[in-house]
Amino acid sequence: MDIGIISNRYAKALFSLAKERDLADQVYEDIKRLANNFSLEPELKTVLSNPLTSKEEKQKLLITAGGIEVSDLYTRFIHLILEHKRENLLPFIAHTYIHLYRQDKHITRVQFHTAVPVSEEVKEHLQDKLRKEMGCTVEFSGVVQPELIGGFRLRIGNKRIDASYATQLRELRKQLLENK
């Protein structure tokens, strides 16, 4: 069976049960931390795929990866995943759950990349403006990337606005080289 189909089934079942029990928000936070840990710690996948790692060790690791205080539903879900030997699908399941949750709650993810840190006031102003403009909840994250030199990159869902100095300089260089 296809990885995507299996991952979707698990994510949909978890989301449906979490909504039914009014735990969707809490499970969302647990799953978001888990997905973030998969991104930040590539070794996590290696440990989970290691046949020498016991089920108990995997469970403890995955519960810890979900946060300090995870929901009982999250813990039971991790146990179910391990019982069915589906731990290799967890990154896909996590991303699918996150997508389902955001879709249900009308949340648009916004990433704002700048060369220097931006004040909380500027972040809040941008977030409010985007919320009013788009008419939905905005999940905002800011990232400092000094290599941008100045300006910003804004990613809203699948749309991307690149107003960084680095890109402008690259484009200028390209134009100058073409006009030799």
Mean pLDDT of 83-101: 95
Same structural domain for residues 83 and 18? yes
Q: Which of 71, 66, 64, 81 is nearest to 11 (CA)?
A: 81
Q: Which pLDDT belongs to residue 122? A: 87
Summarize pLDDT for 47-73 with one digit per residue, the tens: 999 999 999 999 999 999 998 899 999
Inter-residue contact 151 to 170 (CB < 8 Å): no
Same structural domain for residues 87 and 110? no
Mean pLDDT of 3-22: 95
Same structural domain for residues 36 and 61? yes
Same structural domain for residues 65 and 115? no
Q: What single letter denotes the amino acid at residue 98?
A: I
Whether the predicted pLDDT of 158 surpasses 90: no
Q: How far is CA 155 from CA 79, 97, 140, 163, in A?
A: 36, 21, 10, 11
Whether the predicted pLDDT of 1 surpasses 80: no
Same structural domain for residues 93 and 130? no
pTM (2 d.p.) = 0.80
The rounded distance, in Å, linking the Cα atoms of 34 and 37 is 5
Structure token pair of residue 59: 């469970």
